[in-house]
Amino acid sequence: MAADHEYRFSFGPWNIGEGADPFGPEVRTPYTFAKKLDWFESLGFEGVQFHDDDVVENLEELSPEKCLEKAREVRKVLEDRSLVAEFVAPRLWFHPQTVDGGFTANSAADRQYALDRTLRTIDIAREVGTKAVVIWLAREGTYIREAKDAKLAYERILETLNKMLAYDPEISIWIEPKPNEPTDQAYVPTIGHAVAMAYQSDDPSRVGGLIESAHALLAGLDPADEMAFALAHDKLGSVHLNDQNGLKYDQDKSFGSANLRSAFNQVRVLDENGYGKRGEFIGLDVKVMRTQRQEGSVDHLVNSKATFLHLVEKVRTLDKDLERQYIEARDYEALDAYILRHLMGISS
Ligand code: GLO
Ligand code: MG
């Protein structure tokens, strides 16, 4: 079977962006949600990743009933197009009450806001047709280390996870670790932290992680090994494949753009461990380069998906006998050279 029929792909509407960065405004005009959905279909992406307010715009201004009604409408729109919601994530980093974080904010009122908004996200997730809620702990951290009590912060995050689990016995929580940005020091910086919190929670079977390649790289870790760790614990809910050129701002480059060999090893660990066989998505979290013209707004998605599929072929055509021989002979120079030749398409 061709690999593109074996894997399901997803991205989020924010991945078709307008190019604003901290130093300049938008350079492209926004597309409507409906137009973005056209691309999901035409580019072969079945899953839509959502923030709560991607599903229901201005949700703060709507009554809970109206909010759920809107979510049901979106579900219908998705169904009509044979698309599904992969997950919903509470956007806990835009609102004035999340300036100091959400679950770990020093203000009790702000923590309550974050919890209420997260429980509302669970309701939205249910109505839009997914049982997965992603927690990207954007501002759960500090700009100066002394600003928060880190032990207390971890206790507060755990308490929130438990309240979420109790609120809806069907949801799963996928924690998306990231070591920094927007904060200087973020809590739950790696998948190891996320998995530890999963085991510590009231229902470990419903808590796992979502690994983003760039976030692992920002932590100085190898994304493929991070994925292997989560897989070894059966805790890899999803992935955000992308790339990152060193320890810089979070770049969300196209998958494989900075380090093709690292991308190969990520695909390998997923493909060889049956990731996707239970419906897990190959999720992308890739940014349009600011320099792209309007008409090039989705090329990064097309290219990232194509690179993933080419690398599946590279994984499956690797000469495993030869690899084993090099490993048995402890000739890692030969193994290294073979991997490079294979990636470059040199047959001998
Ligand atoms: C930012 C994160 C962000 C999340 C998204 C879903 O660095 O990668 O894009 O993936 O908000 O939770
Ligand atoms: Mg991400």
* pLDDT (tens digit per residue) in 20-67: 999 999 999 999 999 999 999 999 999 999 999 999 999 999 999 999
Residue 178 Cα: closest atom of ligand 1: 7
* Distance of alpha carbon 300 from alpha carbon 298, whole angstroms: 5
pLDDT for residue 163 is more than 60: yes
* pLDDT (tens digit per residue) in 284-339: 999 999 999 999 999 999 999 999 999 999 999 999 999 999 999 999 999 999 99
* Distance of alpha carbon 52 from alpha carbon 87, whole angstroms: 9
Question: With contact defined as beta carbons under 8 Å apart, do 194 and 228 qualify?
Answer: no
Between the CA of 54 and the centroid of ligand 1 the distance, in Å, is 13
Mean pLDDT calculated for residue range 132-158 = 98
* Distance of alpha carbon 16 from alpha carbon 13, whole angstroms: 6
How does 55-72 read in b/e, with b if 16+ C-beta sit within 10 Å? bbeebeeeeeeebbebbe
Mean pLDDT calculated for residue range 255-265 = 98
Take residue 127 and report the two structure tokens written for it. Answer: 């109505």
Out of 51, 193, 215, 300, pick the active-site residue.
51
* Distance of alpha carbon 185 from alpha carbon 139, whole angstroms: 9
Question: With contact defined as beta carbons under 8 Å apart, do 248 and 217 qualify?
Answer: no
* Distance of alpha carbon 133 from alpha carbon 86, whole angstroms: 9
* pLDDT (tens digit per residue) in 51-107: 999 999 999 999 999 999 999 999 999 999 999 999 999 999 999 999 999 999 999
Q: Dihedral, CA atoms, 41, 46, 51, 56, nearest 10 degrees?
A: 60
Between the CA of 12 and the centroid of ligand 1 the distance, in Å, is 9
Say whether 54 is catalytic: yes
Per-residue confidence (pLDDT) for residue 3, from 0 to 100: 79
Substitution site in 139, 241, 285, 287 for ligand 1 pocket (most atoms within 8 Å of beta carbon): 285
Residue 181 Cα: closest atom of ligand 1: 7
pLDDT for residue 202 is more than 70: yes
Average pLDDT, the chain: 97
> Which residue segments constitute the domains of the chain, with CATH numbers given?
4-317 (3.20.20.150)
Q: Which residue's CA is the nearest one to ligand 1's atom 3?
A: 136
* Distance of alpha carbon 133 from alpha carbon 95, whole angstroms: 19
- Which residues, by Cβ under 5 Å, contact ligand 2, an ion? 212, 240, 285
Mean pLDDT calculated for residue range 193-200 = 98
Question: With contact defined as beta carbons under 8 Å apart, do 1 and 313 qualify?
Answer: no
pTM of structure: 0.97
Per-residue confidence (pLDDT) for residue 222, from 0 to 100: 98
pLDDT for residue 341 is more than 90: yes
Per-residue confidence (pLDDT) for residue 348, from 0 to 100: 66
Between the CA of 174 and the centroid of ligand 2 the distance, in Å, is 11
Q: Which residue's CA is the nearest one to ligand 1's atom 2?
A: 136
Mean pLDDT calculated for residue range 207-211 = 98
pLDDT for residue 127 is more than 80: yes
Q: What share of the chain has pLDDT > 90, as a percent?
A: 98
Say whether 331 is catalytic: no
Per-residue confidence (pLDDT) for residue 5, from 0 to 100: 78
Out of 38, 52, 53, 54, pick the active-site residue.
54
